[in-house]
Amino acid sequence: MRGHAPHVLIPCANKLGESVVWHQATQRLIWLDLLDPTIFIHEDGDQAQRRGLPLEAPLGALVAAEDPDIMVITHHGGIVTYRISDGVIRPFGNPEGKRDAVAYNDGKVDRFGRFWVGTSHIDEKDPRGALWCVLPSGEATLGDVGFAVSNGPACSPDGRTLYFNDTLGRRTLRYEISPNDTYPRNRTILTQYDSEEGYPDGITVDAEGCLWVAHWEGGRITRLSPEGERLQTYKFPVSNVTSLCFGGQKYERLFVTTAKDPRKEEPEAGHLFVLEAGVRGLPEPLFPLCSLK
């Protein structure tokens, strides 16, 4: 097995840590607590700066814009921009409109500059969630529907394959995408998960084109080949593993968020972990917004 065992990097005790991003422009690690609306910014040491966000819970995704001072955040009511230097928040878009009982969840920017974001049923029961493709202008295209909980968009190194998790369906889906088409095409099932593996949550992709999947209620990360073959499994001392990203000078470190489970005594639940994965990742694409300063 490649790499070493995961260990706690930052003891942040999040209720629901999620959407971790390596911010290359500032060499910072940034992530969210979805249930206690907070953004965390870590530069060095074993502590992170905590900033409360005046946004309605739950939060969802966090991605970086081309402007190094701007992040994009999804939350219960839509999509906003967040200015790191002074905390200014501005509305950006709301593809779902006022549709009842739906909240924005995970999202990623593809290698052609579009923001793919999923929505979920607020009670995580009915298949009311969708997959949206959001352009830098704010214009959005509905890509797919029928998800109680959506998670984990990620793109292949060549940008032509989009991976997406139907979490309650316990499956990772695969679509074909192209730079001149905002519709994901030819949906197939990459892999299905059993009950022992829990539910697929966040995804990232390494430089070899393999997927790294976080498992909610599975206490693990799984590395999959582009064909869906299970290559490695890394066990965690917590049940709820939520999101992950590669970072560091050479993208050689895998940073992992986790969440608490109120039913279990897990002292390290909610902390941010790091794994020396033995394989390099790729920079996440930036959302090409114009400067909002």
- What's the CA gap between 119 and 109, in Å, rounded? 15
The mean pLDDT value for 107-125 works out to 97
Average pLDDT, the chain: 95
pLDDT digits (tens, 9 = 90+) for 217-249: 999 999 999 999 999 999 999 999 999 999 998
Predicted confidence (pLDDT) at residue 188 exceeds the cutoff of 90: yes
pLDDT digits (tens, 9 = 90+) for 260-271: 999 999 999 999
CA-wise closest residue to 32 among 7, 70, 59, 65: 59
- What's the CA gap between 195 and 191, in Å, rounded? 13
**Where in the chain are the domains?**
7-276
DSSP sequence for the chain: --S---EEEE----SBEEEEEEETTTTEEEEEETTTTEEEEE-STT--EEEE--SPSPEEEEEEBSSTTEEEEEETTEEEEEETTT--EEEEE-TTTT-TTEEEEEEEE-TTS-EEEEEEETTS-SS-EEEEEE-TTS-EEEEEEEESSEEEEEE-TTS-EEEEEETTTTEEEEEEEETTEEEEEEEEEEEE--GGG-EEEEEEEBTTS-EEEEEETTTEEEEE-TT--EEEEEE-SSSEEEEEEEESTTS-EEEEEEE--TTS--TTTT-EEEEE-SS-B-PPPPB-PPP--
pLDDT digits (tens, 9 = 90+) for 149-183: 999 999 999 999 999 999 999 999 999 999 999 99
CA-wise closest residue to 220 among 5, 2, 1: 5
pTM over 0.85, yes/no:
yes
**By percentage, how much of the chain surpasses pLDDT 70?**
98
Virtual torsion, Cα 150, 196, 163, 102, nearest 10 deg: 0
**Top-level class of domain 7-276:** mainly beta
Question: 171-178 and 161-166 as β-strands: parallel, antiparallel, unpaired?
Answer: antiparallel
CA Rg value for the chain = 17
Residue 84 structure tokens: 């790191």
Predicted confidence (pLDDT) at residue 3 exceeds the cutoff of 70: no
Active site residue 201: yes
Identify the residue whose tokens are 């701007």. 70
pLDDT digits (tens, 9 = 90+) for 33-82: 999 999 999 998 778 999 999 999 999 999 999 999 999 999 998 999 99
Q: Choosing from 67, 110, 201, 206, which is the catalytic residue? A: 201
The mean pLDDT value for 71-100 works out to 95
Residue 178 structure tokens: 């192209």
- What's the CA gap between 67 and 50, in Å, rounded? 22
Q: What pLDDT band is residue 290 in, cutting at 50, 70 and 90?
A: low
